[in-house]
Amino acid sequence: MQYLGVPDAVLMEIGSDLGCCRRALEDLGSAVIEACTNAMEHGNRLEDDKDIEIIFEIDFPRIVVTVLDHGSGFDFKGWKPPDELMRRRGRGILIMREFTDVMEFDHHQDGRFLIRLTKILDPAPEDDDDASGQPS
Amino acid sequence: MKIKERRCDGVAILDMSGKLMGGPDADAFSETLKTLVHEGFRNVIVNMEKVSWVNSTGLGILISGYSTLRKSGGELKLLKVSERIENIFIVSKLHTVFQSFQDEEEAVRSFA
């Protein structure tokens, strides 16, 4: 779990090179952190010998991040946002959905479960101090 | 995640730093709150200024802390939440639960 920040850092680095809006990049980063959290907790059940794979595909302004785990997945077609405000768990899918343009669940041909997150990144305004790569 | 404790006018302030993401963080935060309640501090401000991000498991840690303090007759409030983390609170509707401040004095006074 201590490496959950790595894909977020990779995204910030990519965003720094692309010069895109920091807000959109942070939103995507939050969604990817959730995807990785899900993959580790629910997919791999926190078993140390199981890895997760993260694939970044960039076709600016579109960026696609795919997270694969060794779990069997879940009934995503039947998923509905839980309605109990004070529940302690169960917000990951909601965060992924709200912070991305497209959220897809599928199985890889090798059987692994995957979450694919797509975000269209706006370019940062020229005078934007908020551009990615700047400390938040 | 690291937690540093301060006291101000009968209110405990927890200066958090790092990433709030579950695992050992949950135990550390829960134990800190239990100790504070045992010492008589039921009103707690969680200073998020140096928290870089929170995931859904981290939200659960805050909710658990909020419930613990409410059961003890106190409250948990947030200080200096970044725009990034605030966005997560908004989409999960938790901004309607947690009172949040940008000014520490104002946050402390809110318990009076």
Measured between CA atoms, how close is A23 to chain B, in angstroms? 8
Contact A89/B at CB under 8 A: yes
Domain residue limits, chain B: 2-109
Place of tokens 């695992």: B23
Q: Name every chain B residue with its beta carbon within 8 A of the beta carbon of A89.
A: 56-57, 60
Question: What percent of chain A is modeled with pLDDT above 70?
Answer: 91
H or E element in which residue B5 lies: strand B2-8
Q: Is residue A92, in this structure, part of any structural domain at all?
A: yes
- Alpha-carbon distance B68 to nearest alpha carbon in chain A (angstroms): 12
- Quote the pTM value: 0.88
Q: Is residue A33 part of a domain?
A: yes
The A residues from 1 to 60 touching B (CB cutoff 8 Å) are 1-2, 4-5, 8, 23, 26-27, 29-30, 33-34, 37, 41
Q: Does A80 touch chain B (CB under 8 A)?
A: no
- Is A131 among the domain residues? no
What is the CATH number for A47? 3.30.565.10
Is residue A126 in a domain?
no
Q: A38-63, pLDDT tens digit by residue?
A: 999 999 999 989 999 999 999 989 99
Closest CA of chain B from A113, distance in Å: 20
Tell me, yes or no, whether A10 lies in a domain. yes
Tell me the three-class secondary structure of B16-83, residue by residue: EEEEECCCHHHHHHHHHHHHHHHHCCCEEEEEEEEEEEECHHHHHHHHHHHHHHHHCCCEEEEECCCH
Evaluate whether residue A67 is within a structural domain. yes
SS3 labels along chain A: CCCCHHHHHHHHHHHHHHCEEHHHHHHHHHHHHHHHHHHHHHHCCCCCCCCCEEEEEEECCEEEEEEEECCCCCCHHHCCCCCCCCCCCCCHHHHHHHHCCEEEEEECCCCCEEEEEEEECCECCCCCCCECCCCC
What is the structure's pLDDT at A131? 52
Examine residue A80 and state whether it is found in any structural domain, yes or no. Answer: yes
Digits of tens for pLDDT over chain B (112 positions)? 899 999 999 999 999 999 998 778 788 999 999 999 999 999 999 999 999 999 999 999 999 999 999 999 999 999 999 999 999 999 999 999 999 999 999 999 999 8
Mean pLDDT of A80-97: 87
Residue numbers of the domain that contains A107:
5-120
CATH number of B2-109: 3.30.750.24
Residue B70 to chain A, least CA–CA distance (Å): 12
Q: Complex ipTM above 0.90?
A: no
Q: What is the count of structural domains for chain A?
A: 1
With beta carbons under 8 A apart, name residues in chain A contacting B66. Answer: 86
CB-based contacts of B33, cutoff 8 Å, min separation 6: B44, B65, B68, B69
Closest by Cβ to A37, choosing from B56, B87, B92: B56
